[in-house]
Amino acid sequence: DAKTTQPNSMESNEEEPVHLPCNHSTISGTDYIHWYRQLPSQGPEYVIHGLTSNVNNRMASLAIAEDRKSSTLILHRATLRDAAVYYCILRVFKAAGNKLTFGGGTRVLVKP
């Protein structure tokens, strides 16, 4: 399975944007880039996903490099409730399975 690399932690000030990088240099053509986050004492929750083009939703934006070897999750205005561990995951859809494997993630601290 293709691996992802993320910084262990990042800090941000409230109301400021947060850019979370993810490297996935061994990504294959069928791998989707997924982001999940895990708030304290909760199960992971979906944030966003994409294949090739940049994606936006109400929670965040996903910027994907042209060669797809890296991506960046953008939280436009961090709030205290955004403090969580953010996971970048490669998920391949194929007839033999649709695995979802988590790495170490980036712990985001938001300062008031």
DSSP assignment letter at 80: G
Binding another protein (rule: CB under 8 A), the pick from 17, 76, 79, 93 is: 93
Counting residues that bind another protein (by CB under 8 A) gives 26
44 near another protein, judged by CB under 8 A: yes
User: Interface with another protein by CB under 8 A: which range of 6-14, 30-38, 58-66, 70-78?
Assistant: 30-38
DSSP assignment letter at 5: B
CA 112 to CA 110: how far, in whole Å?
Answer: 7
11 near another protein, judged by CB under 8 A: no
100 near another protein, judged by CB under 8 A: yes
Exposed/middle/buried for residue 45 (C-beta within 10 Å: 0-12, 13-18, 19+)? exposed
Residues in touch with another protein (CB under 8 A) = 30, 32, 34, 36, 38, 42-46, 49, 51, 87, 91, 93, 95-105
